[in-house]
């Protein structure tokens, strides 16, 4: 197992490749992008599995983990996509499969739309699409509150939504609670404000994605619903949707086996597509 932590242009990331240096350059790179308030370590159950075959990178997005804030106080999804594009170009060095969760999923999709040359596959976990007005208003109210008071409790509401007090996921809930409590409050508030005003990638832009795509969410995730993932998958010719039974928002942590099985199938699909197109 090989771990290293590096900083590139203010962005912190983990690099993980068990395949060894002799196979490393040939292995498909995979870049994992976390959601709002979280950090690269939220992918630990995927990194430990997929680094045996792939070059795996897990990025702390701006204002999260050990990464610097972006200078602009009002962020757009394109800002995050630009950071990811620069990271893949300068650090990864070749087109990558991007796996994103929540806001990370939206960043992954936006990158596939605006910078298709750096993407050879995109997996969007717990993404939003055509977010209803009422849901958007609720999220925007929380976002405004976060900006107005950076000292407030930022853990209770998301932890309750994500885990519903299920003792089976106590360790996962505690990890997320620690990341939220110890994270950069301003970075969290700015990213959440940007996420709150997203309705999703519009259909016309989604249809420009030509690489293999996976849309996965939890059956019980109300805000990133199964209906949303199924609708997005229906728009693309090389897309599949996977709905994980009994899962909520933190699927990659609470239902890692099901998520990893779906990702393994998807990565094989990407490898096959790359072989055909090579």
233-252 pLDDT, tens digit per residue, is 999 989 999 999 999 999 99
pLDDT given for residue 9 in this prediction: 86
Neighbours of 161 (CB within 10 A): 14
pLDDT band of residue 27 (cuts 50, 70, 90) is: confident
pLDDT given for residue 4 in this prediction: 63
Three-state DSSP state, 102: coil
CA separation for the pair 181, 143 (Å, rounded) = 16
Q: Which pTM does this prediction carry?
A: 0.95
**In the predicted model, what is the mean pLDDT of residues 88-115?**
97
**In the predicted model, what is the mean pLDDT of residues 65-91?**
96
CA separation for the pair 106, 88 (Å, rounded) = 16
Nearest to 105 by CA among 220, 218, 271: 218
Question: Token pair 């960043």 is at which residue?
Answer: 107
Neighbours of 52 (CB within 10 A): 13
Quick one: how far is CA 248 from the chain centroid?
A: 15
Pairing mode, if any, of strands 3-8 and 119-125?
unpaired
Give me the percent of the chain exceeding a pLDDT of 90: 81
Determine which one of 126, 223, 225, 229 is catalytic.
126
Three-state DSSP state, 59: strand
pLDDT band of residue 23 (cuts 50, 70, 90) is: very low
pLDDT digits over 160-207, tens only?
Answer: 999 999 999 999 999 999 999 999 999 999 999 999 999 999 999 999
Contact between 227 and 188 (Cβ < 8 Å): no
- Is it the case that residue 223 has pLDDT exceeding 90? yes
pLDDT given for residue 135 in this prediction: 86
CA separation for the pair 216, 204 (Å, rounded) = 20
CA separation for the pair 110, 195 (Å, rounded) = 13
pLDDT given for residue 277 in this prediction: 57
Nearest to 62 by CA among 177, 182, 191: 191
Three-state DSSP state, 52: coil
- Is it the case that residue 1 has pLDDT exceeding 70? no
Three-state DSSP state, 125: strand
pLDDT given for residue 107 in this prediction: 98
Give yes or no: 67 in active site: no
Question: Token pair 């060095």 is at which residue?
Answer: 93
Neighbours of 26 (CB within 10 A): 8
Determine which one of 51, 102, 224, 225 is catalytic.
102
pLDDT given for residue 14 in this prediction: 93
CA separation for the pair 88, 14 (Å, rounded) = 13
Determine which one of 14, 16, 34, 249 is catalytic.
249
Question: Poorest-confidence range of 3-12, 120-129, 153-162, 256-265?
Answer: 3-12
Give me the percent of the chain exceeding a pLDDT of 70: 94
Pick 271 or 116 by higher pLDDT: 116
pLDDT digits over 42-77, tens only?
Answer: 999 999 999 989 999 999 999 999 999 999 999 999
Residues found in the chain:
278
The mean pLDDT value of the chain amounts to: 92
Give yes or no: 64 in active site: no
Give yes or no: 249 in active site: yes
CA separation for the pair 113, 203 (Å, rounded) = 11
pLDDT given for residue 22 in this prediction: 44
* Dihedral, 150, 157, 245, 35 alpha carbons, nearest 10: 0
pLDDT band of residue 26 (cuts 50, 70, 90) is: confident
CA separation for the pair 260, 242 (Å, rounded) = 12
């Amino acid at each position: 197992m090989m771990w290293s932590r590096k900083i590139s242009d203010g962005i912190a990331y983990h690099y993980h490749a068990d395949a060894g240096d002799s196979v490393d350059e040939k292995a498909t790179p995979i870049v994992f992008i976390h959601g709002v308030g979280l950090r690269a370590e939220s992918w630990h159950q995927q990194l430990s599995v997929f680094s045996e075959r792939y070059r795996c990178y897990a990025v702390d997005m701006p204002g999260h983990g050990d990464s610097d804030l972006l200078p602009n106080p009002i962020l757009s999804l394109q800002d995050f996509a630009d950071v990811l594009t620069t990271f893949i170009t300068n650090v990864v060095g070749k087109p990558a499969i991007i796996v994103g969760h929540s806001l990370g999923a939206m960043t992954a999709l936006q990158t596939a739309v605006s910078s298709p040359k750096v993407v050879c596959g995109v997996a969007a976990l717990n993404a939003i699409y055509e977010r209803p007005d009422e849901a958007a208003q609720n999220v925007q109210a929380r976002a405004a509150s976060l900006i107005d008071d950076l000292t407030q409790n930022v853990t209770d509401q998301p932890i309750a939504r994500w885990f519903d007090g299920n003792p089976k996921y106590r360790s996962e809930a505690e990890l997320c609670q620690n990341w939220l409590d110890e994270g950069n409050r301003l970075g969290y508030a700015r990213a959440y404000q940007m996420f709150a005003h997203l309705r999703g990638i519009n259909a016309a832009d989604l249809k420009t994605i030509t690489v293999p795509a996976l849309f996965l969410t939890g059956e019980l995730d109300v805000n990133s619903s199964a209906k949303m993932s199924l609708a997005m998958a229906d728009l693309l010719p090389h897309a599949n949707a996977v709905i994980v039974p009994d899962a909520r928002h933190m699927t990659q942590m609470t239902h890692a086996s099901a998520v990893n099985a779906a990702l393994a199938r998807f990565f094989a699909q990407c490898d096959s597509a790359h072989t055909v197109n090579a």
